[in-house]
Chains A and B, each alone.
Chain A
Amino acid sequence: MNCIIVDDEATARLIVSQLCSKIDNLDVIDDFSSAIEAIKFLNQNTVDVIFLDIHMPGFSGFDFVQTLKNPPKIVLTTSDTNFAIEAYEYEAIVDYLVKPVTLERFEKSIQKIKKSLSQQSQVESVTQSSSSSSEIGEELYINIDRRLIKINFNDIQLIEAKGDYIEVKTVKETYRVRNTLKKIKDKLPEKLFLQIHRSYIINFTKIIDIEDNSVLIEKNVVPISRSNRPELMRRLNLL
């Protein structure tokens, strides 16, 4: 996989380049301080990915995306969170990284790119992934005082990490289980659940409203972390 970096700040280009160097099989073939230079390059070359700053003098990242006829996968890099909604109006934009970007977050982004590239080349994989998610079933069994209690996914509102425990909140009850958020996340269907904070997974269908940096699920106000917000925004059916 190859990429270019477009950012008017030299420090930002160097940082993204350093992040790329940590990823196997990802080559930075060039970097550009202006969108115009990058467009000239793309007229004669093809790349798999562009790491693109939104806020550049004279020519914004969004202007840049609109000029590309067959855009590759684009990852936006920005100091602002306010453009997330607009970002997901563009099919080519697969992720939205808020500076300063950690290696962990960058690796997640690479996974998204790979996923998006693979979906592009194999349309049938979409069908396969939906059938595999249905294999998870409709319920989850949790161990409470040596009893296995069945909880339907649709009844779960949210799951909160509390130290060594997690609390599974349903409409009627809250179950406290000694486990980790990461483990339960693997058992949940992706189409229903989404991690929106280090300590919270929510049932996406139970959202009542979203305000600033929090989501209302029934009577629970759940914080949205900066890094998880773009994925949440991407999954909303926005008007």
Chain B
Amino acid sequence: MEEPNLNYVNTLADGNQEFLNEFIAIIKKEYPGEVETYNKGVSTKNHIATADIVHKLKHKFNILGLEKAYGLAVTYENELREGNFKLDSDFKRILDKITSYLKTI
């Protein structure tokens, strides 16, 4: 599985440590809540709410350089809008990977 990274953010920061720190602080704060919203959506079988949060999370996959994960999220979001939760476990693996990564930065 591909590894999350800060390549995009570092390029954008271009040495601006203040921006980098702010970004890391925000993503660490924002991400757990989004994961919680996702889990809630799945457990209540609310496929529209789950699709919406997957939509939001997929942007973070992109920012963290997870191109394949982004592709999976695009598919999953579309399937969720049809009520299909089949990719849940694959998606959760990606979420766990990011959760672990965020603890290291």
Contact = CB atoms under 8 A, between A and B. Distances in A.
A200 to B, nearest CB: 22
B1 interface: no
Interface string B8-49: 110111101001001100110110000000000000000000
Interface string B46-70: 0000001001101110110000000
A10 B26 contact: yes
A77 to B, nearest CB: 10
Interface in B60-85: 60, 62-63
Contact of B19 (A8, A9, A10, A14): A14
Q: Which of A12, A79, A99 has the most CB of B within 10 A?
A: A79
Contacts of B62: 79, 99-100
A10 B55 CA distance: 15
- Contact residues of B: prevailing secondary structure: helix
Contact of A14 (B11, B22, B55, B59): B22
Contacts of B59: 9, 11-12, 79, 99-100
Contacts of A163: none
A39 to B, nearest CB: 21
Contacts, number: 48
Nearest to B65: A100
Contacts of B27: 11
Interface string A5-34: 000111110110011001000000000000
Contacts of A18: 12-13, 16, 19
Which of A8, A15, A19 has the most B CB atoms < 10 Å from its CB? A15
B44 to A, nearest CB: 17
Nearest to A17: B19
- Classify the interface of chain A: helix, strand, loop or mixed: loop
B31 to A, nearest CB: 9
Interface string A57-77: 100000000000000000000
Contacts of B60: 11
A100 B26 contact: no
Given A15-B12, A100-B62, A100-B63, A57 B19 contact: no
Contacts of B52: 55, 57
A103 interface: yes
Contacts of A10: 26, 29-30
A77 B9 CA distance: 17
Given A15-B9, A79-B58, 17 more contacts: A9-B30, A10-B26, A12-B59, A14-B23, A14-B26, A15-B12, A18-B16, A18-B19, A55-B55, A55-B56, A79-B62, A80-B55, A99-B59, A100-B8, A100-B62, A100-B63, A103-B12
12 contacts: A9-B30, A11-B26, A11-B30, A11-B63, A12-B59, A14-B19, A15-B63, A18-B16, A18-B19, A55-B56, A99-B59, A99-B63
Interface of B: 8-9, 11-14, 16, 19, 22-23, 26-27, 29-30, 52, 55-56, 58-60, 62-63
